[in-house]
Amino acid sequence: MLDGRHALVTGGGRGIGRAVAAVLRRSGAVVTVVGRNQDSLADAVTGGAADAYQVADVTDEAALDAAVKRGIKANGPIDILVANAGHAESSPFLKAETGQFRRMFELNVLGVVHATRAVLGQMTSGGFGRVVAIASTAGLRGYPYVSAYCAAKHAVVGLVRAIALETAGTGVTVNAVCPGYTDTDMVAESIARITGKTGRSSTDALAGMLKANPLGRLITPQEVAATVAFLCSAEASAITGTTIAVAGGEM
What's the order of all strands across the beta sheet hosting 80-83? 52-55, 30-35, 6-10, 80-83, 129-134, 172-179, 243-246
Active site (annotated) includes residue 145 = no
Q: Which of 151, 120, 124 is nearest to 135 (CA)?
A: 151
Label residue 42 exposed, middle or buried (CB < 10 Å: 0-12, 13-18, 19+).
middle
Contact 104, 131 (CB under 8 A): no
Determine contact, residues 152/134, Cβ cutoff 8 Å: no
Return the H-helix or E-strand segment holding 30: strand 30-35
d(CA 127, CA 136) in angstroms, rounded, equals 29
CA pair distance 231, 175, nearest whole angstrom: 8
Q: Which of these is catalytic: 53, 145, 149, 181?
A: 149
Q: Reduced to 3 states, what is the DSSP secondary structure of residue 203?
A: helix
Q: Which residues belong to the active site? A: 149
